[in-house]
Structure formats: C-alpha cells, structure tokens
Amino acid sequence: MSRKKVLVVLGVAVLLLAGVVSYLAVPDPDGLEAATVRGCEVVEDGGAEVLSGECAAAGATDHALANSPLADYSVGAREGSTGIAGIAGAVVTLVVAFGLFMVLARRRGTTPSIDPQAHEASTGNTWP
C-alpha cells in the first residue's frame, strides 16, 4: 500500500473516531474539577450556576473562551453536537501539525515528500 493511501486511510480513521467516539465522552466533571468543587453546592443565581460553600473553586469564574464556538465539547452550545466538535478539533489539530511539519521541513532545507523514491534518493534509506 502506498504511503499516500496509508495517510488517507489514517485520516479517515481519525475523523471517524473523532466523530463517533466523541459521543461516548462522559458529561460528568473530570477528576480535577470534581476535587475542586468538593464542599460546595451549585445554586442558581439569576439564571447562572454559582458555587456556594467552602471549596477550592468557590471564587472561580468562566475563562475567556467559555463562550467560544467549541466550548464544552459542543458546537455553539447545542446538545448533540459533540461529534461535530470532535471532528472540528481533529481537523484543526491535523492542519496545525501539517503546517508545523512543512515549516520545520523547509527550515532544514528539505522538501517534505510522501514519495518513497524521493525519500530514498534524498536520504539513501529505503522506505519500509
């Protein structure tokens, strides 16, 4: 199987996993969040949830990106959009990784290639 075909298959697998497995994510707080709210109670205050009591997170506020499009593993705070958020996150990660790869490869003076013959010609090593 050619390297290009392998990369396409892996890319499809990443997108499929990101879209499907995202729905299996547990909506409960993670261990760190659960530990910081121990001793507090969540109460409604003017439509917003506020912590009352003695706990590490009592004075916490939302971070700057709390209202961003992909906050809380959803798209635009819509229920059931976890898979779409997972795919978007995977695509952004792959694009950033590929961009960094291209910049670093150019900095080294080599042109990235997925052609096994070009790899062998430039390095003297055969592609497995």
Q: Checking phi first, is residue 75 left (phi over 0); if not, alpha (psi -120 to 50) or beta? A: beta
pTM of the model: 0.57
Q: What is the mean pLDDT of residues 45-64?
A: 80
**Mean per-residue pLDDT for 81-107?**
87
How far is the C-alpha of 26 from the C-alpha of 59, rounded, in Å? Answer: 25
Domain ranges for the chain, please list them.
Answer: 79-123
CA 31 to chain centre: 19
pLDDT digits (tens, 9 = 90+) for 4-34: 898 899 989 999 998 888 878 766 667 777 7
Helix, coil or strand: residue 100 = helix
Higher pLDDT, 124 or 49: 49
